[in-house]
Structures are given as structure tokens and as C-alpha cells.
Amino acid sequence: MNERAELVTHVGRLKAGHGIAVYEPARERRIVDGLRDDNPGPFPSDAIGPVFREIISGTRSLEQPVRVAYLGPEGTFSHHAARAQFGAMSRLDAVASIPEVFSAVETGRADLGIVPVENTTEGVVTQTLDALAEHDVPVCAERVLRVSLALFSRSGEVDAVRRVVSHPQPLAQCRRWLDQHFPGAERVEAASTAAAAQLAAESPDVAAIGSELAAEVYGLPVLATGIEDRGDNSTRFLVIGGEPPPPSGRDLTSVVFTIRRDEAGGLFRLIEPFAQEGVNLTSIQLRPIKGKPWEYFFFIDCEGHRSESSVHRALEAAGGVAHSTRILGSFPRAEQDRKRAGIDRAGGGC
């Protein structure tokens, strides 16, 4: 590891001299995937990623500490995702809201940000889509995190619980479990799971839903674990900011379009070029445009990198149909994380 650190220090000077980005998600994933593929055992292949991610984090910090903004406070699933994506040696800065993550990156207070975008149980995180449309910040990577929820309280007594507090997404992800086990408890929304843990720490009749990490951070006894209604409950996060990553061979491209509402067949004509070029669409979402009633942003994810000829032609043709087009980014897919989460397309809780 010290030999690696010496090499990284030298590489860091070269990168600084040529203006090359310190954080390269496609390169880091290729390293980890190659180690998994070459692993003869008996060390488990699934453990290689977390172990080597910390090695990468430590050596990356010798080049330049990476500042990462996430939805805080400490103990949220966004915090968990940031630690998993960037390692312990990165500088993780908690902010109060998803729009503030974008603002921190846009103004240079953070090099990168990580935000939840979709959940397998509750669907898209609308705040993130709205911020993607509003802020000129690129997407450079994704992370899929298996979300296992726990219930914890200051008293540690089930009978003492009168209110259950959490972010709206985890509350929804545990709806059936709460109906069965705490039918009479009031359900209260909080800004984040960590904020819910803080409330639980202040009152003995409040229980919070969040990660076991949050319970540990705030010193709260755990009443129950694995309380999510679905076993495949997973969250997809986007890493925003940074330099555009080169093709990795397994990429997604995200783009946001607008179309004229008075044009018949506009959506069909917008997505038709992708079918003609054989480019698979993995997601289509829409959000209203502020100040323009009944007009929408269309967020489309497609397989492939924007530099690939078929993807490039599809984007060009769709752009000719659209009223406006903005490519949010082409980035490596979180394939291994998706497999471990038991899903083959994305899932954002907070």
C-alpha cells in the first residue's frame, strides 16, 4: 500500500499539471471489477469492492481530499451512500436539503455531491429531479444501496412508543409493517432519517425509522430491524459534479427534454429515434415546469455512452424533435451494486 501511495503521489502531481480530475469513477470501477474477475478465492469477491474502495479513498486523499456534499445530518442513508462510494478518507459535508447539495457543487463549496433519485418501493425522489432541471450540474456516477430499515427509540421499550418519526420515504416503505405492529402510533414526517433520530433522542415516547448506523450515531437502542415491506428495497443515488467520465463499456446516459404541449405525437416522436437506433430506454420520468402550467420536463435514461454512435444519433434525432435538450451526463452503471440489491434497474430513499 505504501508503494501504491508513492505512485499515487507522483500521479497526483501529473494530474495537477495537466488539469486531470482526481475522482474518476469509471477507472475506479474497472480496477475493482478486474480484481473481482481475477480473484481465485477463497477471499470472497463481494468483499473486494468495500476493501479496495478504502484503499482507493486513502491514496486518493494524497492527491487531493475530495469534498462531497450529502443530505444530512450524519446517519442518513445519503451519508451511508457517500461513505460507501467515496470511502472514509473523503471529506463528507452534511447539508440541510437536496437543493443545497446541488448549490454546494454549483458554487464550488463541494467538489461532488450525492443525492437520492429513485427507490424500488416508492419511486422517484421529486426534489432531485426538480434540482437536476434547475441546476447546471452534471451527473458523473451512480450508486445503488440496499436499504434495510430499523426502528429505534431512547427508551428501548416497544410499549412506550406513541409516535413514529422518519423521512416520508422510509415511512412509506414500512407502511404495512407499521399498520401491523404500531396501528395506533402517530406517524410524523421529518426532513431526514437522521433528523428523526435526533427527535427520538429527545423524547422517550418517540421511535425513529432509519439505518442502524443512525441508531449507533445517536446512541439509541434498536427495537426492530428489517422492517421494510419489500425485501428488494433499494435506493439509487446519483453522484453530481466532476468531469465527464470516459466510456466504461457499461454506461447510462441521462438527458432532460422539453416538448411543445400543442404538438400531437410529440412524446412518441421524441423517443422513436432510440428504438430506431436500438438504444434501450431504462427510465422515463416527467416533472412539471415551474411557472408553465401543464408543461413538463421529460427525464430519460438510456443504455450506452453519449460518445457511442448509436446513442449519439438517437440523441441528435430526439434533440431535433424536442423544444429543448440538456444531457445530464454519461456515467458507469453501478452493476455490482444492482446485482447485490437484487434488481436490474434502479431503485432513492433518503
User: How does strand 112-119 pair with strand 234-241?
Assistant: antiparallel
Which one of the listed residues 237, 257, 274, 297 is annotated catalytic? 237
Question: Cβ distance 160 to 154 under 8 Å?
Answer: no
Active-site hit among 59, 76, 120, 235? 235
The Cα–Cα gap between 156 and 215 comes to 11
- Contact predicate 164/171, CB 8 Å: yes
For helices 45-63 and 77-86, the axis angle rounded to 10 degrees is 80
Residues 84-88: contacts with CB within 8 Å, 24+ apart?
Answer: 84/50, 84/53, 84/143, 84/145, 85/53, 85/114, 85/141, 85/143, 85/237, 85/239, 86/57, 86/112, 86/114, 87/53, 87/54, 87/56, 87/57, 87/58, 87/60, 88/54, 88/57, 88/58
Count Cα neighbours of 102 within 13 Å in the Cβ-side half-sphere: 19
Is residue 237 among the annotated active site residues? yes
Distance CA 301, CA 290 (A): 22
Q: What is the H or E stretch that residue 182 is in?
A: none
**What one-letter code names the amino acid at 215?**
A
Tell how far CA 94 is from the center of its chain.
15
Backbone angles phi, psi at 289, to 5 degrees: -85, 125
**205 C-beta neighbours (distance < 10 Å), count:** 15
Does 282 qualify as catalytic in the annotation? no
Active site residues: 235, 237
